[in-house]
Structure 1
Amino acid sequence: MAKIAFGRFDDSFSLGSFKAYLAEFISTLLFVFAGVGSAIAYNKLTANAALDPAGLVAIAICHGFALFVAVSVGANISGGHVNPAVTFGLALGGQITILTGILYWIAQLLGSIVACFLLKAVTGGLVGSFFRSDNGLPDLPI
């Protein structure tokens, strides 16, 4: 049976912990920037044409390389979780404390938010048009 611990504040706010949070922030930022950026680039290059199998494979390969780089960046520092679901599983399994898991989540979510804003800045606003829906719902305000 896994032993779940909340954790201590002095452990979660040490220099090593801040390095781990920064590693999660950077690795998630890299993954989201490269992954979503590849999908945006595909849409731009094909003039918003329907996704064909070759395009799907190209985007999947970009996501795979982005995940490889993201995990490689954080593996020796924070464990390279990159995904909040992985962090949740490790917290439930007792591999990390609940407090550390929550702080990892914050770093990962902030990393993905910053990546979206960077994509918006780099692409000149294409991110907003990429997240449009055709089902009558309002557009996402990104």
Structure 2
Amino acid sequence: MPIRNIAAGRPEEASRPNDLKAALAEFISTMIFVFAGSGSGITFNKLTENGATTPSGLVAAALAHAFGLFVAVSVSANISGGHVNPAVTFGAFVGGNITLLRGILYWIAQLLGSVVACFLLKFSTGGLAVPAFGLSAGIGVLNAFVFEIVMTFGLILNY
């Protein structure tokens, strides 16, 4: 996309009903995705009593994330484009598909949606810890960073 397609947006974008509706859709869809994905991690930890990662556990987590993403994108695709991820929103901005102001609205909604999902998980599980991901043994920070770049590129390539 040519650089001329990138736009900052107008201040009224922050108050137009359609833009706010799209931001709300991003909030809800991100909340669904994080709730399903992190909920699967909590469930796995509870069922295995914090056991070691097994191939079946990895498949279960991958399926939970896949179904969660499917539902999240289905909920918001026709309203906001179904970004669900701030990296996808950034790709849409750089590609000239949304303005910077609309992207900022989406980012705020996505971040709030993920935080609310974690609070809902904490409440609905009676205070169980929301799992955090870490690096496996033998994987350095640089390796993980490059992997994230490649996978994020794959995520936004088709947008």
TM-score normalised per structure 2: 0.79
How many residues are aligned here? Answer: 132
CA deviations on 1:77-135 (whole Å, 9 max, x unpaired) are 0000000000001111111000000110000000000000001001111125x3498xx
| Inter-partner Cα distance in structure 2 for 1:18 and 1:103 | 8
> RMSD of the alignment, in Å?
1.5
Kept in 2: contact 1:116–1:127 (CA 8 A): no
Kept in 2: contact 1:33–1:116 (CA 8 A): yes
Give the match for residue 96 of structure 1. Answer: 98
The residue type paired with residue 52 of structure 2 is: A
Match of 1:123 among 107, 122, 125: 125
Identity %: 64
Kept in 1: contact 2:9–2:102 (CA 8 A): yes
Give the match for residue 24 of structure 1. Answer: 26
Question: Matched residue of 1:124: which SS?
Answer: coil
| Inter-partner Cα distance in structure 1 for 2:84 and 2:90 | 11
Q: List structure 1 runs of 4+ shifted beyond 2 angstroms.
A: 130-133
Kept in 2: contact 1:23–1:77 (CA 8 A): yes
The residue type paired with residue 8 of structure 1 is: R
Specify every segment of 5 or more residues in structure 2 that has no aligned partner in the other structure, as ranges: 135-159
Question: Matched residue of 1:82: which SS?
Answer: coil
Give the match for residue 113 of structure 1. Answer: 115
Kept in 2: contact 1:27–1:80 (CA 8 A): yes
Question: Matched residue of 1:74: which SS?
Answer: helix
Give the match for residue 157 of structure 2. Answer: none
Question: Matched residue of 1:125: which SS?
Answer: coil
Give the match for residue 38 of structure 1. Answer: 40
Cα pair distance change 1:109/1:132, threshold 3 Å = closer
Give the match for residue 142 of structure 2. Answer: none
| Inter-partner Cα distance in structure 2 for 1:8 and 1:78 | 18
Match of 1:57 among 53, 56, 59: 59
Specify every segment of 5 or more residues in structure 1 that has no aligned partner in the other structure, as ranges: 134-142
Give the match for residue 87 of structure 2. Answer: 85
The residue type paired with residue 49 of structure 2 is: A
CA displacement at 1:12 relative to structure 2: 3.6
Q: Which moved more, 1:83-92 or 1:10-19?
A: 10-19
| Inter-partner Cα distance in structure 2 for 1:17 and 1:127 | 34
| Inter-partner Cα distance in structure 2 for 1:121 and 1:20 | 27
Question: Matched residue of 1:76: which SS?
Answer: helix
TM-score normalised per structure 1: 0.88
The residue type paired with residue 50 of structure 1 is: A
